[in-house]
């Protein structure tokens, strides 16, 4: 699978990471408001939901910037774009799950 030029790949990964950080911070804030003592520990289903939200918002962001039209002309398929978004969000979720324990 071809993921495009390094510049666009880096931008894609940074966008996905930014969206993940914002959503994760919002989720942590909500759990603190709810009174839970460990805001970064969430259920696996919530982690999957967060990854799905990152992919959905990342796709909307790419559509807004017309990158879903540009990247296929550079040889990047839509499935490749989605795979990068999923990989970034899932690896960040795995990293925080391993760090928190």
Q: Each residue's pLDDT tens digit in the chain (101 positions)?
A: 666 677 788 888 999 999 999 999 998 888 888 887 777 777 888 889 999 999 999 999 988 888 878 887 888 888 888 998 999 999 999 998 888 87
Rounded Cα–Cα distance for residues 88 and 78 (Å):
16
What is the predicted pLDDT for the residue at 2? 62
pTM, to two decimals: 0.85
Question: Quick check: 46 and 4 in contact, CB under 8 A?
Answer: no
């Amino acid at each position: 699978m071809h993921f495009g030029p390094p510049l666009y790949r880096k931008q894609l990964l940074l966008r996905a990471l930014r969206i993940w950080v914002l959503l994760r911070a919002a989720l942590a804030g909500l759990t603190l408001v709810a009174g839970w003592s460990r805001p970064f520990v969430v259920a696996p289903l919530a982690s999957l939901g967060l990854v799905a939200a990152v992919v959905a918002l990342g796709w909307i962001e790419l559509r807004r910037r017309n990158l879903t039209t540009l990247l296929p002309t550079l040889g990047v398929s839509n499935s490749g774009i989605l795979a990068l978004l999923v990989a970034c969000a899932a690896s960040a979720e795995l990293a925080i799950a391993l760090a928190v324990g």
